[in-house]
Amino acid sequence: MAATEGDAKVSFQALQLANEQRNAYGLRYNDYERYRKHCINRTHRLRSSLKMTHGKGREFKKLPILKPENIKDGYLQLLLFEAERAWVYSQELVSQATQVQTNPKGFTAKGHDNKPSALRRHATSRLRRAVNWSTQLLSHCQALHASGRLAAQDLLQATVYTLVLNGRLLRHRDEFEDALVQLSVARHLLDALAGKAATSRDQALATAFADEIGPEIRHCAHELRRPNAYEVDAIVAEVAPKHRDELVEGCATLLQSLGTEVAKSAQERQKLDVLMWEDEPVPVRNPELVDVLLRVQNAESRLKEAGQQEEPTSEDATAGGKKKGKIGKGTRSKRGVAAYDAILQALSDAEEVARKLVEAQQLSGQLSTTVAAGTRDIQFVHAFIVYQLLSYRIKRDSLLIATLLHQSQSTHHKETTGSSKPRRERVDARLFPAVVKLLDTIIQSLDQMRTLTIVDESPDLASAVDARLSFTKARRCRYLARCYAPQKRLAEALSLTQHANIHIREARTHLSLVADTDPISSSPAPFYPLTAADIDTLDGEVSSDVAGYKNEWFAFNGGSVSADSKTYKKPLFFDIALNYVQLDMERLQERAGKKPVATKAPQAAAAAAPVSEKKASSEKKTPSRAAVEEVERAPTPEPSASARSGLSSLLGGWWGRK
């Protein structure tokens, strides 16, 4: 919408400018007053910049006639906003008339008569003025196109804008026959603009205006008692070819010029690929949604290019050796995560735009009247974008998990390659909690995906998502059990493995329902491939973990639930040899040759008897528990001087004799 000074070309797209201003200044939510005030301010600024004000004096000075060679895009914008101002004012008055009619006492119109008939009459006059402004705009555009300063596409947009306003005025006057002709020709031109659009944004813009006037065409056909009044395309195909040359001067020439301009255009790269869902296209009918989806498409292409560039790198690394292959895999994973971040950001922006469009449609009360029955609306597009966002998020999280596990295996391999002795596997304490956190994110994404309407309406897809949800829960239980095992909380670890077995059985059940028709695995780029072999592998890993936890638990505290390793006592067998074996010291001394064999005198035995009795009596009187449990040992006899021999010297070394 800026004119170049070199060739004096004028670029003015009426439909694009009107659509942008309406969506930005309240008309998306049916806030007519806000948009009307914006049009007032915009026209005032344009008049000031173009020096078309009348001054502050009381004397009226007529402005000079505007010549075609002096027309700039600012003049065309001024006429457009004058038409928009009058049209939105008429819509505001019609809305007030409806509110007064439904609630006469609770609503009062501002500055007008409260009678609905007066409000509608005033709305008709404002709509007539809007048609007058749009007619002036069209005449200027035709003059510019005749002089070669305006493109055929811009002239067609101005023509469509004028036809739509004229058709609405006729419909407001209950002249449904003429209104049907005007609106049908406008719809025919919009279809031509959409079919020959140079960019996807222009195509979506034409589609949006075509959807907007579709209900008005149905209303006119219904009032005229036409058969099949709900088939808008059939009505347009019947009415438009008969009257398009009458209403649009040189219509065939304009359409031919439009095709030539599109062929010369160099913006084919901005075309949006057709989005498919269940072998049917997903319609994109909003220009602002096209921009963000184009960014998503570019991010997807960069992701595919990065994957294609990394494939030969992995082959070269594998040919060069195992060490190079593993390093290359870690590097590829980091690059892949960065590529996924870019596409996730683009999808987040697309989801935000689609969500705002859905909210605007719900707040304005326009449920799905602008879209034909059986056509996928903006709510379906929003659900589709959310599904794509969640699928790429799951792929990113799965790649992160694979990267973490691969790096831990590489580190363990480096530590164990230098020694021949088997070592216990050393795992970073932060590894398994990080994996559990990522699995939690995947579970959250799958739960959100399961609640989408497009998933719930497809039984096969719902079963496939349920299978992956149960499989991910089983993996989470397994890695969470590995977090408990190093802390010797083996009872919790075994309980988690039991939960994992339950989720594995659920995954088998859900996957068996879609074994041959799995929509996720059969897609061109599956975000979460899952087969029965994967479930069997996880089942075997969980079984081996269960056996390991049981063995470790038994070795830790004998399998006791309440006992702790700190209060655990060894069996009695380990202390028998040192504490509870009483040796015959006299016999050992005799055999060692340290004590001569001699019989004790009876006096000595008699004297020793009372001493032992006194000692026994004193022990009975003492209530000490330690004294009772004390084991009496025979005193070590003093060594006697004797001849040394080989056996005596050996035994003497045992008993500490030098």
Q: What is the pLDDT of residues 479-538, one digit of tens each?
A: 999 888 888 788 888 899 999 999 999 999 999 999 788 899 888 888 999 999 999 999
Q: What is the pLDDT of residues 401-422, one digit of tens each?
A: 998 888 776 555 555 545 444 4
| 22 three-class SS | helix
Structure tokens at 200: 């996807």
Q: Is the pLDDT of residue 370 over 60?
A: no
Structure tokens at 308: 């294609």
Percentage of residues of the chain with pLDDT beyond 90: 45
Task: Give the per-residue pLDDT at 631.
Answer: 45
Which of 208, 378, 385 has the alpha carbon at shortest distance from 296? 385
Task: Give the per-residue pLDDT at 56.
Answer: 72
Helix then strand then coil, in percent of the chain rounded to 5, is 70, 0, 30
β-sheet bridge partners, residue 277? 280
Q: Are 217 and 232 in contact (CB under 8 A)?
A: yes
DSSP 8-state class, residue 219: H
Q: Are 215 and 370 in contact (CB under 8 A)?
A: yes
- Cβ neighbours of 166 (radius 10 Å): 23
In this prediction, residue 315 has a pLDDT band, given cuts at 50, 70 and 90, of very low
Can you tell me the mean pLDDT for 146-155? 91
The set of residues, in sequence order, having a beta carbon less than 8 Å from that of 320 and lying 6+ positions away, is: none
Q: What is the pLDDT of residues 178-208, one digit of tens each?
A: 999 999 999 999 999 998 888 888 999 999 9
Place of tokens 């960014």: 295
In this prediction, residue 321 has a pLDDT band, given cuts at 50, 70 and 90, of very low
Can you tell me the mean pLDDT for 312-334? 47
Task: Give the per-residue pLDDT at 470.
Answer: 96
DSSP 337-371: HHHHHHHHHHHHHHHHHHHHHHHHHHHHT-SSTTS
What's the topology of domain 1-54+68-150? Hyaluronidase domain-like (1.10.3450)
**First-to-final CA distance of the chain:** 115
Can you tell me the mean pLDDT for 382-390? 95
In this prediction, residue 475 has a pLDDT band, given cuts at 50, 70 and 90, of very high
In this prediction, residue 259 has a pLDDT band, given cuts at 50, 70 and 90, of confident
The set of residues, in sequence order, having a beta carbon less than 8 Å from that of 418 and lying 6+ positions away, is: none
- The pTM of this model reads 0.74
Pick the range with the lowest mean pLDDT from 252-266, 278-292, 315-329: 315-329
CA–CA distance, 509 with 82 (Å, rounded to integer): 65
Q: Is the pLDDT of residue 596 over 80?
A: no
CA–CA distance, 205 with 606 (Å, rounded to integer): 127
More confident residue, 474 or 330: 474
CA–CA distance, 317 with 415 (Å, rounded to integer): 22
Task: Give the per-residue pLDDT at 649.
Answer: 54
CA–CA distance, 359 with 37 (Å, rounded to integer): 23
Domains of the chain, residue spans = 1-54+68-150, 151-263, 272-417, 427-560, 579-596+635-658
Q: Is the pLDDT of residue 614 over 50?
A: no
**Residue 508 burial (CB < 10 Å; 0-12/13-18/19+)?**
middle
What residue ranges in 124-199 does DSSP mark as E strands? none
CA–CA distance, 15 with 158 (Å, rounded to integer): 7
Q: What is the pLDDT of residues 559-580, one digit of tens each?
A: 666 655 555 555 555 555 555 5
In this prediction, residue 61 has a pLDDT band, given cuts at 50, 70 and 90, of confident
Structure tokens at 404: 């973490």
